[in-house]
Amino acid sequence: MVTTAPYGAWASPMDAALVAAHDGRPAFVGAVGDEVWWTAPRPAEGGRRALLRRRHDGTEEPVLPAPWNVRTRVLEYGGQPWAGAVTAHGPLVVFSDFADQRLYVCAPDTGAPPRPLTPLSGVGDGLRWADPVLRPDLGEVWCVLEEFTGDRPTDVRRVIAAVPLDGSAAEDRGAVRELSGERHRFVTGPRISPDGRRAAWIAWDHPHMPWDHTTVMVARIDPETAEFTDVRPLIGATAPGTAEHGAAGESVAQVEWATDGTLLFVSDRDGWWELQGIDPEAAEDAPGARHRLCPARQEEFGGPLWTVGQRWFLPMENGTLAVIHGRGATCLGILDPVTGELVDAAGPWTEWAPTLAVHGSRVLGIAAGPHRSYEIVELDTCTGRAREIACRHTDALDPAYYPRSHSRTFTGPGGRDVHAHVHPPHSPDHRAPDGERPPFVVWAHGGPTSRSPLVLDLEVAYFTSRGIGVAVVNYGGSTGYGRAYRERLRGRWGEVDVEDCAAVARALADEGTADPARLAIRGGSAGGWTTAASLAATDLYACGAISYPVLDLTGWATGGTHDFESQYLESLIGPLAEVPDRYRERSPLHRADRIAAPFLLLQGLDDVICPPEQAERLLAAVAGNGTPHAYLSFPGEGHGFRRADTLVRALEAELSLYAQTFGFRRDDVPVLELRG
């Protein structure tokens, strides 16, 4: 029986607690012998990341009990936090624990508790470790060391270091061997050649972000001392141009070694992240030194290096490559680098996370689809069969309540393309009165050098099942559509993103899909910036939900954020010394008097990327101007919410904001108090 009710007032079997229970996704999949290991979110356990294993017989169990939290804070966004290997005594795992950021080692089958491998440091934010590579033959683990040298967020150095597995460095910083030296501000973990004689890694320096320009470094490994020798740049030794004027550099997102000693890498030198190979002994500019492994397809075989240890491809024993590729969406394929033939795996998955592992003829990945959550998928390259083997999707409720989503390309200013995913209101047992048009919320993703995929998202379904549409915009600057699309935001953050989101909202209203009087915008982090900037720039939106945002560009660029993004604005806005007025003019904090629409501001009090001080300054700026608003802050939460109770409170508050603004009744959530 279908009930007629206004959009937004529909009853839904999906509450915020259900959404929170399914928040997050598995990550960092790996093969440890015949077993599959990965990390998974635990919202009900304080938001920790658990390390899980799937045994050969198909049973699943945790590797470590609570409260172990397998997560690193390197670059603040983290990275590969664990590595495992099989020894004579069973599996051995090295991992970073979030609580103290020390490296620990554990042989889980022995029953012995983890023991620390690295010391604590009282300087700044201490010592952090990521992207580990186990070297049992040397009795070491090699990884990225991020070491703070002072109290400021930018007082930090990063090197590739070797940590003894015997625990001798647990209280002795001097027992850690430094391998790469301080040639660059940022480094990834090393990739070791099959013969063990070479190492390769990616490095970059301020003001470039890793999607602007990186350098591939190579070194010989001394067979006697295991020291790095003959350290030199192989690709991208010189970054052309400046961040302000946007002369194209070359972003290499991943390096790996082929079985024949060729160095494989993903480069966007020709406008798309493409797979290439190079002889490590050749000069980069030598004729024929580097070559494509797949004919040009105007697709991405890589992505933005937000965390160290991401993998979009891996070599297999037979010489083929497992690759993640696509344009605006991704799939898993097997590439023959000799013929260039690429065969994709069949299945319902339309988005693959940048994490892969191979074991023999098997490829392991993490994938999702429009009606499937992220799950661990295994591709048997001998049979061509792909199947989910862990974290299997199960419908949290009747899938009839899932949105009927589709991807569209809209027209933005100047006729430019704007990509978006549209999720209209949908319920199997509700319809709206004839002639009523639904409210729509535009979602701006974070990053901003990132992308929102078209996959099942219960947070989207929470709104669409209640009669509220959602349009997720991959505005100019998003990844997945080539470097030119990504570069649209250069110098124009706060303009292109705002314009593209508005273009999608207006198009939906003009065609009758959305109610022009009931449009909203929301986003977190960089999406929070776009939301706040949009509310200050236009009266298109009736309200907005702003989460852990950037609000003051000048403050953010002068010590107001962490080291990784401390010079990000050099490309997004321009050099502060050259265009200081632009920093002030674009900042929502300095245009707060233009914000008239009601808004909800959500902030984690432990956020070091977008600290709460900016949110508090915005509140002070709008105080007394009559703009209805609410502020919810959450102790113990950082940049992005992970705890179940936080997720529930934030989602219910957002729904209450829409109910009050759009004029429909909701009795299933607490009323959000708005103050003017």
Asked whether residue 472 falls in the same domain as residue 613, the answer is yes
Q: Determine the residue type at 625.
A: N
Of 220, 143, 215, 228, nearest in space to 185 by CA: 215
**pLDDT > 90 fraction of the chain, expressed in percent and rounded:** 94
Helix runs in 65-118, H state only:
none
**Whether residue 526 is found in the same domain as residue 644:** yes
CA distance 511 to 504: 11
Same domain, 11 and 92: no
Which tokens is 584 given?
A: 């002030």
User: To the nearest whole number, what is the mean pLDDT of the chain?
Assistant: 95
Q: Which domain holds residue 591?
A: 3-16+397-662
Distances in whole angstroms, Cα of residue 521 to Cα of each of 172, 480, 505: 51, 23, 9
- pLDDT for 355 equals 97
Strand 82-87 versus strand 90-96 pairing type: antiparallel
SS3 502: helix
Q: 179, 24, 137, 74: which is closest to 562 by C-alpha?
A: 74
**What is the pLDDT, as a whole number, of residue 88?**
87
280-333 per-position pLDDT tens digit: 987 666 666 899 999 989 999 999 999 999 999 999 999 999 999 999 999 999
pLDDT of residue 119: 98
629, part of any domain: yes
Residue 643 above 80 pLDDT? Answer: yes
Alpha carbon distance 432, 434 (integer Å): 6
Whether residue 38 lies inside any domain: the answer is no
CA distance 386 to 378: 6
Q: Rounded CA gap, 63 and 81, in Å?
A: 14
pLDDT tens sequence across 352-409: 999 999 999 999 999 999 999 999 999 999 999 999 999 999 999 999 999 999 999 9
Residue 482 maps to a domain: yes
Whether 10 and 62 share a structural domain: no
- As to burial, measured by CB atoms within 10 angstroms (0-12 exposed, 13-18 middle, 19+ buried), residue 641 is buried
pLDDT at 121 over 90: yes
Domain end, chosen from 315, 350, 385, is at 315
Whether residue 30 lies inside any domain: the answer is no
The residues, any chain, with a CB within 8 Å of residue 65's CB and separated by 6 or more, are none
Chain-centre distance for alpha carbon 621: 31
Question: What's the CATH number where 564 sits?
Answer: 3.40.50.1820
The long-range contacts involving 494-499, CB below 8 angstroms and separated by at least 24 positions, are 494/529, 494/530, 494/533, 494/573, 494/586, 495/586, 497/444, 497/448, 497/530, 497/533, 498/530, 498/533, 498/534, 498/537, 498/538, 499/412, 499/413
Residues 482 and 627 in one domain: yes
Give a yes or no: residue 359 inside a domain: no
Give dist(CA 387, CA 380) in Å, integer: 9
The CA-atom distances, in angstroms, between 73 and each of 472, 558, 574, 637 are 28, 21, 28, 14
Asked whether the predicted pLDDT for residue 596 surpasses 90, the reply is yes
Q: Count other Cβ atoms within 10 Å, centred on residue 177.
A: 19
Assess if residue 600 is contained within a domain. yes
Judge if 7 and 81 occupy the same domain: no
Report the number of distinct structural domains present in the chain.
2
Residue 185, pLDDT above cutoff 90: yes
What is the token pair recorded at 200?
């390769």
Q: Does residue 631 carry a pLDDT above 80?
A: yes
- Of 315, 350, 367, at which residue does a domain stop? 315
Chosen domain end from 315, 334, 360: 315
Structure tokens at 444: 């701006």
What share of residues in the chain are helix, strand, coil (percent, to 5)? 15, 35, 50
- 497 and 632, same domain (yes or no): yes
Instruction: Looking at the structure, tell me whether residues 10 and 146 fall in a common domain.
Output: no
Same structural domain for residues 11 and 86? Answer: no
**pLDDT tens digit string along 209-261?**
999 999 999 999 999 999 999 999 999 987 554 434 345 689 999 999 999 99
Domain CATH code at residue 61? 2.120.10
pLDDT digits (tens, 9 = 90+) for 7-37: 999 999 999 999 999 999 999 999 999 999 9
State the Cα–Cα distance between residues 374 and 377, nearest whole angstrom: 9
Alpha carbon 110 to chain centroid, angstroms: 35
Pairing of strands 3-4, 430-431: parallel
Residue 456 or residue 181, greater confidence:
456
Residues 649 and 526 in one domain: yes
Q: In terms of domains, do 310 and 402 share one? A: no
pLDDT at 89: 85
Determine the pLDDT at residue 243: 39
Residue 628 within a domain: yes
Residue 388 maps to a domain? no
Q: What is the per-residue pLDDT across 527-564, written as a single tens digit (0 to 9) for each? A: 999 999 999 999 999 999 999 999 999 999 999 999 99
pLDDT-based confidence at 676, cuts 50/70/90?
Answer: confident
499 and 445 assigned to the same domain? yes
